[in-house]
């Protein structure tokens, strides 16, 4: 690690990306080694390693068994909410994955078919994902905290042949029955899967119907022949992961196989400081991109050990939970969202519980998923005595865009910034006209095309939406949807979304879905949802609702009843993670003359910032009368 190593590596990745990624690709075991690195003949659609063929599951499991890691732990399952733990070696995980791949194959799932996985944080979720990869099926994991309507939208878009789910999830204070949600989602969806495989959990078994199979039954040894790896093209989709945009229709981010494997494998030593045999603990959920990349694929591609943790940072049982996991499994890198640290800080401000555990194995803490505020950064650094590395990325990119490149060179950390661009990403800040702004000036953060391997090649069966959502704002650039600036040293500062996407406790949610749920209530004429700053969850949604004429909301009791119904409706339609608690009943919503609701202006007022009011506002008095409702108290 020498001074200037990052600058040199970064420049190579920019000047000669093909040489850079060809070198990185040698860490992957290819069935057909690619002779070409980047196909740009269909720009702005790019294909990495166009003539390469591989199997990602082979690289995550079989390869390590062949290389002598058969008895090394591949996955520790640690579930304080159910009081269970289990460790799977690489050989054991390979056996289970091959068997479940055989189950899927026998259900008629073949290369290119989709499989939706709707599961809590159990090892079977990882087994199902890898089993899909093994036979070239495309998985689409839906976060367990989403309610039937969100699941139904994803089922309709992905059109899965099979759905893999569980009878229930276990949250600290309640058991969440998944199976009724799944049944309701299938009832609402136009597309119907052939079969559902259900993991029965003792906390709340489910009644199985004609379409359903019991995971334990189909996985009994000897019932199916294990499946071998199916070779796929590097461009073959490994998965679709739906993420929230501004509208209610989620975007199906496509992830390729070859580029993703190369990028993740490269990121392990270079970004996350993980070598084969190390243990990584990513406290997220397999339903999010952080879970896909750094609970499942990257640690296994690297021959490391991953931890699947079914619990929370606090309350399961206390704010020492993460330190215990670090101690019990010898974790060297801990990766979570800033909210988790804010939760720990709130519960245990002096971090007294740290003294109960030996965390000497822990080298570095990584935080991503939302802005890392300097207070939380300082607290985490001072209390743990470990470097705290902020890294910025999105579902679309699949791995970090910006991070301190500690594996290459330990650059100084500047609180409030995820440091510099990661190799392969050419990050710029543009103004409204598409001109690059000087250092320190805020604008839209964009990435010059082509983006590095692992990033989205398109949206599932929707090239047009891919272009209109991400590529049409500035020619030749990918629009991240984040605003911010770059300082003189090349450090990127990500200040927040420039669109109406919400980020609640590191969970990305769409204003459109929440609005659709509210609008479905018979009393609602019109509504708007904005994300307002929250010192714990980063952001929380806030709803402004106009009622239909004739709806009785004249008394505080009637209003209160209505608010409760609306909150409940959002829980049932979007999911409890939406965490909508504040609903204001208002007389009007500020709009432009063309009818666009001024969400950004309202958000600025609610956050106590200077509000930018567009000159095209239809009726200024509507906004003025809302200001006192929106303005932060105290
Ligand atoms: N299945 C079903 N319900 C779920 C769920 C899941 N997988 N995940 C969350 N929920 C529910 C919770 O039970 C809670 O319900 P409640 O309102 O009835 O209590 C609601 O959704 C909100 O959950 P959550 O966002 O977890 O808030 P919380 O207040 O329970 O916990 C934290 C706060 C900080 C502990 C929690 O948000 C956390 O661990 N965040 C880390 C961030 C993270 O992992 N981000 C992922 C991207 S990196
Ligand atoms: P998701 O696609 O769910 O990973 O959410 C991506 C969005 O989360 C980004 O567009 C950012 O708005 C936000 N985000 C993620 N990581 C960071 C970070 N380190 N700093 C600031 N914002 C972040």
> Which CATH number fits the domain that encloses residue 517?
3.30.300.30
Report the alpha-carbon distance of residue 94 to residue 90 in Å, rounded.
6
Same domain, 567 and 459: no
Name the band, by pLDDT with cuts 50, 70 and 90, for residue 245.
confident
Under 8 Å CB-to-CB from 323, ≥6 apart: which residues? Answer: 353, 354, 356, 357, 359
pLDDT beyond 70 at 1: no
Q: Which ligand is nearest to the CA of 172?
A: 1
Same domain, 453 and 552: no
CB 538 less than 6 A from any atom of ligand 2? no
The closest residue, in CA terms, to atom 44 on ligand 1 is 284
CB contact burial 104-126 (16+ within 10 A = b; e otherwise): bbebebeeebbbbbbbbbbbbbb
**DSSP collapsed to 3 states, 72-133:** CEEEEEEECCCCEEEEEEHHHHHHHHHHHHHHHHHCCCCCCCEEEEECCCCHHHHHHHHHHH
The answer as to whether 340 is a domain residue is no
Residue 484 has φ and ψ, to the nearest 5°, of 165, -160
Q: Quick one: average pLDDT of 178-197?
A: 98
Helix (H, G, I), strand (E, B) or coil at 176: strand
> Residue 552's pLDDT is what?
86
CB 369 less than 6 A from any atom of ligand 2? yes
> Residue 258's pLDDT is what?
98
The answer as to whether 373 is a domain residue is no
Domain final position from 484, 516, 546: 484
The closest residue, in CA terms, to atom 1 on ligand 2 is 394
DSSP H/E element including 402: strand 402-403
pLDDT beyond 80 at 184: yes
Under 8 Å CB-to-CB from 197, ≥6 apart: which residues? Answer: 103, 107, 128, 162, 163, 164, 165, 212, 213, 214, 215, 218
Tell me, in angstroms, the distance from the centre of ligand 1 to residue 184's CA: 22
pLDDT beyond 80 at 466: yes
- Substitution candidate for ligand 2 out of 240, 393, 422 with most atoms within 8 A of CB: 393
- Substitution candidate for ligand 2 out of 143, 290, 371, 447 with most atoms within 8 A of CB: 371
Tally the C-alpha atoms within 13 A of residue 431's C-alpha that lie toward its C-beta: 8
Our count of domains for the chain comes to 2
Distances from the Cα of 120 to the Cα of 284, 334, 336, angstroms = 11, 20, 17
- Substitution candidate for ligand 2 out of 141, 143, 365, 370 with most atoms within 8 A of CB: 370
Share of the chain above pLDDT 70, in %: 100
> Residue 3's pLDDT is what?
83
Q: Among the atoms of ligand 2, which is closest to the Cα of residue 390?
A: 19
The answer as to whether 497 is a domain residue is no
The CA-CA-CA angle for residues 511, 517, 520, to 5°, reads 135
Under 8 Å CB-to-CB from 116, ≥6 apart: which residues? Answer: 139, 140, 141, 142, 151, 154, 155, 158, 160, 162, 163, 164, 193
Domain final position from 455, 484, 513: 484
Q: Give the other-Cβ count within 10 Å of 498's Cβ.
A: 18
The answer as to whether 450 is a domain residue is yes
Tell me, in angstroms, the distance from the centre of ligand 1 to residue 285's CA: 10
Tell me, in angstroms, the distance from the centre of ligand 1 to residue 320's CA: 18
Same domain, 216 and 135: yes
The answer as to whether 456 is a domain residue is yes
Helix (H, G, I), strand (E, B) or coil at 482: strand
Same domain, 552 and 478: no
Name the band, by pLDDT with cuts 50, 70 and 90, for residue 524.
very high
Q: Quick one: average pLDDT of 202-225?
A: 97
pLDDT beyond 70 at 634: no
Q: Which ligand is nearest to the CA of 402?
A: 2
Q: Quick one: average pLDDT of 115-122?
A: 98
Domain of 115 in residue numbering reads as 5-311+391-484
Domain final position from 419, 449, 484: 484
Tell me, in angstroms, the distance from the centre of ligand 2 to residue 105's CA: 36
Give me the CATH number covering residue 138: 3.40.50.12780
Q: Quick one: average pLDDT of 171-181?
A: 96
Tell me, in angstroms, the distance from the centre of ligand 2 to residue 352's CA: 30
Report the alpha-carbon distance of residue 128 to residue 287 in Å, rounded.
13
Structure tokens at 314: 């606090």
> Residue 190's pLDDT is what?
98
Same domain, 421 and 523: no
Tell me, in angstroms, the distance from the centre of ligand 2 to residue 229's CA: 34
Whether the CB-CB separation of 397 and 446 falls below 8 Å is answered with: no
Q: Among the atoms of ligand 1, which is closest to the Cα of residue 315?
A: 35
pLDDT tens by residue, 316-331: 999 999 999 999 999 9
Report the alpha-carbon distance of residue 286 to residue 308 in Å, rounded.
9
Q: Which ligand is nearest to the CA of 419?
A: 2
Q: Quick one: average pLDDT of 123-138?
A: 99
> Residue 266's pLDDT is what?
98
Tell me, in angstroms, the distance from the centre of ligand 1 to residue 577's CA: 6
Structure tokens at 510: 């769409």
The closest residue, in CA terms, to atom 13 on ligand 2 is 370
CB 339 less than 6 A from any atom of ligand 2? no
pLDDT tens by residue, 587-605: 999 999 999 999 999 999 9
The closest residue, in CA terms, to atom 47 on ligand 1 is 506
Q: Is 420 left (phi over 0), alpha (psi -120 to 50) or beta?
A: beta
The answer as to whether 453 is a domain residue is yes
Tell me, in angstroms, the distance from the centre of ligand 1 to residue 402's CA: 26
Same domain, 466 and 519: no
Same domain, 180 and 258: yes
Report the alpha-carbon distance of residue 379 to residue 37 in Å, rounded.
43
Residue 361 has φ and ψ, to the nearest 5°, of -70, -20
Tell me, in angstroms, the distance from the centre of ligand 2 to residue 567's CA: 26
> Residue 488's pLDDT is what?
97
Tell me, in angstroms, the distance from the centre of ligand 2 to residue 62's CA: 33
DSSP 202: T
- Substitution candidate for ligand 1 out of 167, 171, 370 with most atoms within 8 A of CB: 171
Same domain, 479 and 509: no
Q: Which ligand is nearest to the CA of 366?
A: 2
Where does ligand 1 bind, in terms of residues with CB under 6 Å?
A: 120, 144-145, 169, 171, 176, 284-285, 288, 290, 312-314, 337, 339-340, 343, 369, 505-507, 576-577, 579
Same domain, 194 and 67: yes
CB 394 less than 6 A from any atom of ligand 2? yes
Average confidence score pLDDT of the chain: 96
DSSP 167: S
Residue 395 has φ and ψ, to the nearest 5°, of -50, -40
Same domain, 554 and 410: no
pLDDT tens by residue, 541-555: 999 999 999 998 889
Q: Quick one: average pLDDT of 132-160?
A: 97
Same domain, 554 and 476: no
Tell me, in angstroms, the distance from the centre of ligand 1 to residue 279's CA: 24
Same domain, 398 and 478: yes
pTM for the whole structure: 0.97
């Amino acid at each position: 690690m020498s001074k200037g190593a990052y600058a040199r590596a970064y420049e190579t990745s920019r000047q000669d990306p093909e040489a850079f990624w060809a070198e990185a690709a040698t860490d992957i075991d290819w069935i057909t080694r690619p002779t070409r690195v980047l196909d740009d003949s269909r720009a702005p659609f790019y294909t990495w390693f166009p003539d390469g063929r591989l199997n990602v599951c082979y690289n995550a499991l079989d390869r390590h068994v062949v290389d002598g890691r058969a008895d090394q732990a591949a996955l520790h399952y640690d579930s304080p909410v159910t009081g269970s733990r289990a460790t799977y070696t690489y050989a054991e995980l390979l056996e289970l994955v091959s068997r479940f791949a055989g189950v899927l194959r026998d259900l008629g799932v073949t290369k290119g078919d989709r499989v939706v996985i709707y599961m809590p944080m159990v090892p079977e979720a990882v087994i199902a994902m890898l089993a899909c990869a093994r036979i070239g099926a495309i998985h689409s994991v839906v976060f367990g905290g989403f309610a039937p309507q969100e699941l139904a939208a994803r089922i309709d878009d992905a059109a899965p042949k099979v759905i893999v789910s569980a009878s229930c999830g276990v949250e600290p204070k309640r058991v969440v029955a998944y199976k009724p949600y799944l049944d309701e989602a299938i009832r609402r969806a136009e597309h119907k899967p052939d079969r559902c495989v259900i993991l029965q959990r003792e906390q709340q078994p489910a009644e199985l119907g004609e379409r359903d199979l019991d995971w334990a039954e189909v996985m009994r040894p000897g019932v199916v022949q294990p499946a071998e790896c199916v070779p796929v093209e590097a461009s073959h989709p490994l998965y679709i992961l739906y993420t929230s945009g501004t509208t209610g229709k989620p975007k199906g981010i496509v992830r390729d196989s070859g580029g993703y494997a190369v990028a993740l494998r490269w990121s392990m030593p270079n970004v996350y400081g993980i070598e084969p045999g190390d243990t990584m603990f990513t406290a997220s959920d397999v339903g999010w991109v952080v879970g896909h990349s750094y609970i499942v694929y990257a640690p296994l591609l690297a021959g490391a050990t991953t931890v699947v943790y079914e619990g929370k940072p606090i309350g399961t049982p206390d704010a020492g939970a993460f330190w215990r996991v670090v101690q019990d499994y010898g974790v060297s890198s801990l990766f979570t969202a800033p909210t988790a640290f804010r939760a720990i800080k709130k519960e245990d401000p002096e971090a007294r519980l740290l003294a109960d555990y030996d965390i000497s194995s822990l080298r570095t803490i990584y935080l991503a998923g939302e802005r890392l505020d300097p207070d939380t950064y300082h607290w985490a650094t001072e209390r743990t005595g470990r470097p705290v590395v902020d890294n910025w990325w999105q579902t679309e990119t699949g791995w970090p865009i910006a991070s301190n490149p500690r594996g290459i060179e330990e650059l100084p950390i500047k609180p409030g910034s995820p440091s510099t661009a990661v190799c392969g990403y050419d990050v710029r800040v543009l103004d409204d006209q598409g001109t690059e702004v000087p250092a320190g000036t805020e604008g839209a953060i964009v990435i010059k095309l082509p983006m590095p391997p692992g990033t989205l090649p398109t949206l599932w069966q929707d090239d047009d939406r891919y272009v209109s959502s991400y590529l049409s704002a500035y020619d030749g650039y990918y629009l991240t949807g984040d605003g911010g600036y770059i300082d003189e040293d090349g450090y990127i500062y990500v200040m927040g979304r420039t669109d109406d996407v919400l980020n609640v406790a590191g969970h990305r949610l769409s204003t459109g879905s929440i609005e659709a749920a509210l609008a479905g209530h018979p009393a609602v004429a019109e509504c708007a949802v904005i994300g307002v700053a929250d010192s714990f969850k980063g952001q929380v949604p806030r709803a402004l609702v106009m009622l239909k004429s004739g709806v009785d909301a004249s008394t505080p009791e009637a209003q209160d009843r209505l608010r409760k119904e609306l909150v409940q409706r959002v829980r049932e339609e979007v999911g409890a993670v939406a965490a909508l608690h504040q609903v204001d009943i208002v007389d009007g919503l500020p709009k432009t003359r063309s009818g666009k609701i001024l969400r950004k202006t309202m958000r600025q007022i609610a956050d106590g910032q200077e509000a930018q009011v567009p000159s095209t506002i239809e009726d200024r008095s509507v906004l003025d009368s809302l200001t006192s409702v929106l303005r932060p108290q105290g």
